[in-house]
Amino acid sequence: MSVVVRKFEPDSKLKKMLDQPGGVTAEQALARAKQGLESIREDCLGATDEKIASLQVLAGGAEAGRGEKMYRLSNEVFAEAGGFGLGELSAVAHSLCSLLAAHEGAQPPRAAVMVHVEAMRALRRPELAGDKAARMAVLQGLRGLVQKFSAPAG
């Protein structure tokens, strides 16, 4: 069986633009990007608080499609908290996504979801959530929980 392959090289305007004289150095570009991110930090982390609160309501409810809604919210918390340096909160959100993905189309295990949401609430302000060893122990515990609830039945 032969497969027809067509190869071609589209023109890249981006390359030509990037190489034009002028512009900024990478160092300046990164500094300005980080400054821009700092300018929206409070707004974004305020929204993260609201997303965690929504997750808590969804976790305790019985709404149809709540698994998908929680997956989407948790994915947003993962990306946004991580982007602002809240690595532990981001890791918990990622763990919740893994748990929910393993139960796609089915009811997610309520207790395991609630534990994740409580951990998110605690790690939103890591400085108030115990020492680093305690926080690592929480993350380790959640990993075990996800493994347990994601294992194939049988």
Partner 1 sequence: MSGVDPNARINLSKASVLLVDGSQHSLDMLVQIMKGFGAAEVHRAQGVAETERLLKSKSFDLIVIDPNLADGDGYALVRDLRHSTNGSPNAFIPVILVSGHARASDVAKARDTGANYFVAKPITPNVLLQRIMFVSRDKRPFVEVGAYVGPDRRFKFEGPPVGSDGRRNSDLKSPLGTADEPNMSQNEIDMMIKPQRVML
Q: Which residues bind partner 1 (CB under 8 A)?
A: 3-10, 12-15, 17-27, 29-37, 39-40, 43-44, 47-48, 71-72, 74-76, 78-83, 90, 94, 97-98, 101, 104
What is the torsional sign of CA 41, 42, 44, 45? positive
Instruction: Name the DSSP letter for residue 52.
Output: H
Residue with tokens 């982007």: 83
CB of residue 13 to partner 1, shortest distance in Å: 5
DSSP secondary structure code for residue 131 in this structure: -
Q: Is 82 or 109 the residue whose CB approaches partner 1 more closely? A: 82
* Pairwise CA distance, residues 94 & 138, whole Å: 14
Nearer Cβ to partner 1, position 84 or 114? 84
Would you say 34 or 134 has its CB closer to partner 1? 34
Question: 22 in helix, strand or coil?
Answer: coil
Q: Find the shortest distance in angstroms from Cβ 52 to partner 1.
A: 13
